[in-house]
Every structure is written in C-alpha cells, then in structure tokens.
Amino acid sequence: MDITSEKRGDTITAFIKGEIDHHNAKAARETLDSIIETEQPIHFGLDLSRVSFCDSSGLGLVMGRMRKCQTVGSTLIIKNPSVAAMRILEIAGMDKILKIERGD
C-alpha cells in the first residue's frame, strides 16, 4: 500500500493505493493520523479510488480516521471510493453517515 497527500486550500487529501488489510492497516493508520494531527485541516479527504482490496481492517481505518478528524475539528470526506472500498462501506452502513464524493 502507498499513501500520498496533497493540500488544496483548506483541504488535505490522502490518496491510498493498493490493498487495505490487517497486514498494513496499522502503518496506514499511523501515516494518516500524523497528517491529520500535523496539518489539522478543515476538510480531510480520503481518496479510495485506487484501493484494490478492502476488508474489515479498512472499515476500521475509515471509522478511526472519522473519529480522529472530529478530535481536531476536521470533516472527513471519502473521495472516489473504488468498488472494493464502497462495498465494505455499504455493508457496514457507513455510506449513510459519511460524506462520500465521486468524480473529483
């Protein structure tokens, strides 16, 4: 898995490429938390368009970043979720409580 980020105005977007599973979720969590804590953006985008596999660890990753964003006053936005990422979000009902943007 690879994570990069980009800042545009008051939004920082982190781009995740690859698989999100129990083998790499901890490293992803630490990277994303570092970005959120350091930058404290108004909006934190999590671009999941290049996620090829996502299991329950990915769901936990998203839920935890939602909480982390709340602690620093940021809004989490899921951007362009892949089919794999969207499937796990829908199964858990997270698509009902998260802001999800497509086509960015």
Structural domain containing residue 15: 2-101
21's CB contacts (< 8 A; 6+ apart) are 53, 54, 55, 57, 58
**Total domains, the chain:** 1
**What pLDDT was estimated at residue 104?**
57
Domain CATH code at residue 11: 3.30.750.24
pLDDT at 103: 81
Greatest extent of the chain over all pairs of C-alpha atoms, in Å: 33
Q: Which residues contact 4 (CB under 8 A, 6 or more apart)?
A: 14, 15, 17
Per-residue pLDDT of the chain (104 residues; tens, 9 = 90+): 999 999 999 999 999 999 999 999 999 999 999 999 999 999 999 999 999 999 999 999 999 999 999 999 999 999 999 999 999 999 999 999 999 999 85
Any idea which residue has 């008051």 for tokens? 10
Predicted confidence at residue 36, as pLDDT, reads 97
Q: How do strand 75-79 and strand 43-54 relate by DSSP bridges? A: parallel
